[in-house]
Structure 1
C-alpha cells in the first residue's frame, strides 16, 4: 500500500513555555523545613507565564506541529487542569486555530492517559476520505508548595494529528487495561493533588500493571521485547521507566529520555511530548512502544515511516530564578499591586460574541480594490488614496509575519509581570496594529525585530472566574 493511502500519525508538535524555573531556587526556599527536596533539586521545570494556561499552550502545540488544521474534522483537548469546568475548552482552541465550525470538539480529563486513549481510538477507527483529527494535551497543574510534585511537574502541551496521507508513523498494535489503582488523586474543587507512597506505586503499579500490559501487547502481536527500538513511558518517579523496561525485556538503550531535567512531567501531555521527541530522531522502520500509566495502562506499538516530521521543536527557553514570581503567576501568593490593579474586568458576553471572529482569529480586513490590510476591519478603507466603502474581505493576521515599529515599557500601568510592554507592529503584507508584547525582556525589543503572534490570556475577571483571550506579539526565536 502506498504511504499516501495509509492511516496513521500525520504530524506531532509540542509547546514548552519560555520560562524554565531552576529547581535549586525552589529548594532554596524550602530547605529549612523540607531538606529531603535536595534530591530533586536538579535541572529546570517549565513554568507558564501569567498569561498562559491549558488553552493557550494547546493552541501553540498544534501550531508547532505544522500539520495544518484546514479541514480538520475534530479536535480533542485532554487535560486534568482545564481552566473552565463548564465551557468547552477545546472550542476555544479550535476557534483560535481557525478550525471549521462543523468540526467536532470535546474535552477529556481525569486521567494521565486521557490523551493516549483518544489517540488509540482515532488510530483504530480510520474513515476513508475523512479529514484529519487533532488530539492535543496540555497541563498547567498547581502543586502544593514544598511538595515533591512541585519540583517534578512542568507546564506544557503536545499534539498529534491522525488521518490518511503522508503518515510519519502507523499503528502496529495496542493493548489497554483499566484499573482503579490510585497512585494520586484530586477531589473536585480541590487545588492540590494527594499522592501515595512512591515505593508502593512503583512496585504494585508500574512493575505489575504497566509491565503486564506491555507484555500482553507484545505477545498479542508476536513481537519480541528486544525488537522495540524506542521505549516511551513517562514516569514521575526517577528511573521507573528503566525498571519497567528491564522487567519486560526491553533493551536499556531503547529507553527514551523523559525530559525531566529540562521540562519536568507534563501530566497527560507527557506521552505525546515524548512521542514527538522520539519521532524526530527515529529511523524509518523502527518500532516505538508508547506507554501511558494512570488508572490502568495504554500501550501503543507504532512503526516509524520514512516521511519527515513537520514542524519544529521548542527553543531552549530562559532560566528563571524567582520562585516568588512562580507563586505569583500561579496565584498562590497575593501581592499588593496598588490602586491601578483595582478594576472590574467584567466581560460583556453579548459583545464578546458579536466580536468573536476578530478576537479568536485576529481577523482584519483587506480592501479588494487597493489591497490595503487593516485591523480592525471597517466599512471604509483606511488608504486615503482609496477610501472605498464595503470593499473589505476577511483576512487573519494570526499567522502573518510582522516587525516591531515602536515599543514602550510602562512600569506604572498594572500587569502581573511588570513592565507592561506594548507598541506598534507592522505586518509584512500590510497592516499596522498597537499590540501588547509577551515573553520578552525589556532590552530585547527594538525597531525592526521580527515578531510572531501568540494566543494568550488578555485579562482575568477574578470576581466571576472568567478569562478573556486575545493575540499578543512575541519575538521570533530559533528552535532548539
Structure 2
C-alpha cells in the first residue's frame, strides 16, 4: 500500500498579526497571526528547509524523485525542483519535476507520485509544496495568506499513513487567478465561487 513514509515542514519565524493589519485599514479581520517570509526567503529556500526536515533519519539514496509544487517560484523559465534536489543532497539521477500555475499543484504532485510508485517507476518520491503568495493591500486575502512549506516522502515500504484512494474532478471555473504580469491574485465574489463553483461541482 502506497502512503506517507515521512513528512516535514517549514514556517518562517516572522509573524504579522491580523490586529495590526486591521488597525491600518480600520476594519475587523479576526484574531491570530500569519507567517511571513524574511527578505532572504522564497518558495525555494522554504522548500529546501521542509525537505531537509522530512529527510531527518532518512537515507537520501532511497529517494527516486522530487516533485516541487508552487505557484510562486522565482523563476519563470528554469526548473526549481533541481535546485531543491541539489540543496538537499539527493542523487543527480532522480526525477525532478515542477508542478505550478494552479492551487491544485500540490495535490496533483502527490497524485503523480502515488501513480509513479504504483506503476513501479519509483520506490519513494518526495513531494514538496511551498508558497509565498503576495496579497493585495486591504484585500480579503491580506489576513489569510501565510508563507510556508510542507514535504512528504511517499513510498510503499515503512508506510506511516496509507493512502486508501483518491478522486479528482476538473471543472473550468474562474475563482482565483493571477496572470503573467499580475503582482496580486484576483478573485470573484465569495458567494459566486461557493454557489456556482464548489456546490455545482
TM-score w.r.t. structure 1 length?
Answer: 0.40
- Out of 16, 19, 23, the residue aligned to residue 21 of structure 1 is 16
Query: 1:207: Cα distance to partner?
Result: 2.6
> What corresponds to 1:117 in structure 2?
108
> What corresponds to 1:188 in structure 2?
180
CA RMSD of aligned residues (A): 1.7
Question: Residues 68 and 109 of structure 2 are in contact (CA less than 8 Å); yes or no, is this contact kept in structure 1?
Answer: no
- Shift of the 121–130 alpha-carbon distance from structure 1 to 2, 3 Å rule, reads closer
- Out of 97, 103, 108, the residue aligned to residue 99 of structure 2 is 108
> What corresponds to 1:163 in structure 2?
155
> What corresponds to 2:39 in structure 1?
50
Match of 2:143, SS?
helix
> What corresponds to 1:140 in structure 2?
132
d(CA) in 2 for partners of 1:128, 1:41: 48
Match of 1:152, SS?
coil
Q: Does 1:11 align with 2:6?
A: yes
Q: Does 1:64 align with 2:53?
A: yes
Query: 1:171: Cα distance to partner?
Result: 2.2
> What corresponds to 1:99 in structure 2?
90
d(CA) in 1 for partners of 2:57, 2:187: 37
Residue by residue over 1:244-298, the C-alpha shift from the partner in whole angstroms, topping out at 9 and shown as x without a partner, is xxxxxxxxxxxxxxxxxxxxxxxxxxxxxxxxxxxxxxxxxxxxxxxxxxxxxxx
- Shift of the 197–91 alpha-carbon distance from structure 1 to 2, 3 Å rule, reads same
- Shift of the 130–106 alpha-carbon distance from structure 1 to 2, 3 Å rule, reads closer
Alignment: residue pair count: 198
Question: Residues 10 and 150 of structure 2 are in contact (CA less than 8 Å); yes or no, is this contact kept in structure 1?
Answer: yes
- Shift of the 69–85 alpha-carbon distance from structure 1 to 2, 3 Å rule, reads farther
Question: Residues 69 and 99 of structure 1 are in contact (CA less than 8 Å); yes or no, is this contact kept in structure 2?
Answer: no
TM-score w.r.t. structure 2 length?
Answer: 0.92
Match of 1:175, SS?
coil
> What corresponds to 1:82 in structure 2?
73
Find runs of 4+ consecutive structure 1 residues off by over 3 angstroms: 127-131
- Shift of the 69–178 alpha-carbon distance from structure 1 to 2, 3 Å rule, reads farther
Match of 1:162, SS?
strand
Question: Residues 12 and 67 of structure 1 are in contact (CA less than 8 Å); yes or no, is this contact kept in structure 2?
Answer: no
Gaps of 5+ in 2: none
d(CA) in 2 for partners of 1:107, 1:49: 23
Match of 2:164, SS?
strand
Query: 1:179: Cα distance to partner?
Result: 1.1
